[in-house]
Amino acid sequence: MDKNHPNLVQKWRFDYLTLLLLFVLLVSLFTAVSYKGPTLIFASENNSDKQKSDPNQTPADPNERQKTEGKKPHRPLHKHPAFTQRVKERIKMVNRQIRSRDVRDPNTLAAMQIVPRHCFVRPAEQPMAYNDHPLPIGFDQTISQPYIVAFMTEALNLKPDSRVLEIGTGSGYQAAVCAEIAKEVYTIEIVEPLAKSAKKRLKELGYPNVFVKAGDGYFGWPEKAPFDAIIGTAAAGRIPEPLMEQLKPGGRMILPHGREWGLQHLVLITKDEKGKVTKKKVMPVRFVPMTGQVQKPQDKPKKK
C-alpha cells in the first residue's frame, strides 16, 4: 500500500497527527479549567504578632471565628442598617477624640468605631451624635462624652470571655460598646422608662449578649455575680459595698466617685487574686448623681 499510494499514506499520517494534536489541546484545556489553584490556609491570630490596623478600615467582625466553628454568635452580627450609617463620622470621632488622647486598646477603638452612637440619642441631638461632649437623653440623664466612654472601657481591660456589670444603663451606649468586646453585659437602670427604651433599642440593634433590668444599681446583680468587670456611669459619695463583693478576684471596677456638686474623680478599683482591694483616682470628671439606696445615710456600725 505504501508503494502504490504514497500520497494516501502521507495524508493519513497528517490526519493522525492533527487528531493527536487536537486531543492533547483538549486535555490541556480541560485540566486548566478544572484546576482551581492552591487552597490558602490562614494561620490563627497570634496576639503577640498583631500588625497595626488601618484606622480608616472597618474592624473585622468579631463573630467570624464563632461562625466558622459552628457556634451561635454571642455578639451582634451588625445586620442593622445603622452599622453602615455615618461610618466616616465614627472614624473621625475615634481618630480625633479618642486615639489622639492616648486610648490605645485595639478592642476599645474597634468597638467605638462600630457602635452607631446616633442610635442612642434623641432625634433632636442626632446631628451632634459624634461631637466631643455629652448629650441629654431625657429624665435629667445624659449619654457620656465619647472619650470618657472609651477611657472607661479601656480601663476595664476586657477580654472575649469577660462578664461585665454596668450600673446606670442610660441610653445603652456604654453597654453596647462593652458588648462588642466582652462575652456578657448585665446592666441596671433605676429610671424604668430609660431601662425599657434601652432594652428595646439594644434588641433592635441585635445585641444578644446585653441583659437589661430596671432597679437600683447599688445592690448590683447578685444572681449573676461574680463579675470580671464593673462600670458605673453615675457618681456617688461612696462606693456601694455590694459591688465590691460582686467583683471577682482579679477583676477591675471603674466608676465616678464624689458628691453631685463637689469634686468628682473616676476611681479605678482592682481586686487581686487574694481579695486585696486597691483604689486609684485616674481622672477628674463630672457625672450625674447616682440615686436610690446610695443617697441614704449609711448605717453606723454598732458599738460592742
Positions annotated as catalytic residues are 144
CA distances, 86 to each of 113, 154, 227 (Å): 10, 24, 34
Secondary structure (3-state) at 239: coil
Q: Which residues pair with 289 in a beta bridge?
A: 235
DSSP single-letter state for residue 156: T
Characterize the bridge pairing of strands 264-271 and 210-214.
Answer: unpaired
Task: Give whole-number Cα distances, 93 to 64, 76, 227, 241, in Å.
Answer: 26, 22, 30, 36
Across the chain, the runs of DSSP E, i.e. the strands, are 135-138, 141-143, 163-167, 184-189, 210-214, 227-232, 247-258, 264-271, 277-285
Which H or E run contains 34? helix 6-34
What is the DSSP track for 200-218?
Answer: HHHHHHT-TTEEEEES-GG
Question: Which positions ≥6 away from 41 have C-beta within 8 Å?
Answer: none
Q: Which residues of 58-80 are buried (b: 16+ CB within 10 A; e: fewer)?
A: ebeebbeeeeeeeeebbbbebee
| Dihedral angle sign, alpha carbons of residues 197, 198, 202, 203 | negative
Written as one letter, the residue type at 53 is: S
Of 202, 230, 211, the C-alpha closest to 115 is 202
